[in-house]
Amino acid sequence: MIEEGSDLWNCAVQVERSDPERFATVMAAPVAARAVLFPIYAFNAEVSRAPWVTAEPMIAEMRLQWWRDVLDEIATGGPVRRHEVATPLAALLDKEACAVLDALIEARRADIERAPFGDEAALWAYLEATGGGLMTVSARALGEPYGRRAQAAGTALALANYLRAVPELEARGKLPLPDGRPEALRALAQRGLDLLQQARRAPGVSGTARAALMPASIAGAMLRRVRARPAHVADGTVMPPEAAVRWARLRASLRGGF
């Protein structure tokens, strides 16, 4: 039971408001996993929105730097500033996890710039650092020491979510894709599906750490839609119908992962 008004409660409220898909997977996870995942996902929400809440690049940089300073305080074992997300986060992360999340913040600096990624390799580096890094840290915090499955699955999910966000990014003045041709989108989707297969072949994740993989349950359905019809990206219809989403989550919960 999460106490209303507590830091964990506030983290949960923030995730519910800003990341409803991940919120749904956390609420389907074991209770013990929620106290771990909500602060990590709330951190991700804070960082991912920082480049978009202001039109001033310098202010966005300052917001990201604030979170880098938090991670440095946690990694060095010194006092950590009081904050409803930073405080519970400090109890979950070790030095290695802080380094992964610091790379996530660095990758998010690309969102401040409205220019497109220079090439496909730059886009994949961004996806690996953001979605892949987030899922790796989440699995690690739940007891999975290696994270190979989480890294691949998280990167595939990041691609699916990024393709889903293309219309909104364009509306905000961002040029999101280095190559938006249908054949390029099909190739991206196929590579994402290959990553999901790679993740499924990796050593299994046991116990509560499976909850960290649950957000990837809808990635396959999203990427298959793009592969079959790349116009879903421009149309803003990458996400499958709600019934398909619920079925994907149910099947993932029965499988114990995604």
Tell me the pLDDT tens digit for each residue of 114-131. 888 989 999 999 999 999
The predicted structure's pLDDT at residue 257: 63
**Count of domains forming the chain:** 2
| 128/104 same-domain check | no
| 158/190 same-domain check | yes
Contacts of 163-169 with CB under 8 Å at 24 or more apart are 163/188, 163/189, 163/222, 163/223, 163/226, 163/233, 163/238, 164/222, 164/236, 164/238, 164/239, 166/233, 166/234, 166/236, 167/233, 167/234, 167/235, 167/236, 168/236
| 104/134 same-domain check | no
- Of 52, 81, 113, the last residue of a domain is 113
**What mean pLDDT, rounded, does the chain reach?**
93
Overall average pLDDT of the 83-95 stretch? 96
- Where residue 256 falls among pLDDT bands split at 50, 70, 90? low
- On the question of pLDDT at 247 being above 90, the answer is no
- On the question of pLDDT at 205 being above 80, the answer is no
What's the CA gap between 108 and 130, in Å, rounded? Answer: 7
What's the CA gap between 171 and 115, in Å, rounded? Answer: 14
- Of 113, 148, 170, the last residue of a domain is 113
- On the question of pLDDT at 6 being above 80, the answer is yes
- Of 62, 89, 113, the last residue of a domain is 113
| 12/80 same-domain check | yes
| 141/47 same-domain check | no
DSSP 50: G
The predicted structure's pLDDT at residue 105: 98
237-221-155 Cα angle (round to 5): 100
| 102/126 same-domain check | no
| 62/131 same-domain check | no
The most confident of 30-34, 52-56, 146-150, by mean pLDDT = 30-34
What's the CA gap between 23 and 29, in Å, rounded? Answer: 10
| 155/220 same-domain check | yes
- On the question of pLDDT at 207 being above 80, the answer is no
Global pTM value: 0.94
Distances (CA, A) of 88 to 31, 42, 44, 81: 16, 10, 14, 11
Overall average pLDDT of the 12-22 stretch? 96
Q: What percent of the chain has pLDDT over 70?
A: 97
| 135/185 same-domain check | yes
| 233/120 same-domain check | yes
List the domain range (segments joined by +) for residue 4.
1-113
| 109/145 same-domain check | no
| 255/130 same-domain check | yes
Overall average pLDDT of the 76-91 stretch? 95
The predicted structure's pLDDT at residue 245: 83
- On the question of pLDDT at 213 being above 80, the answer is yes
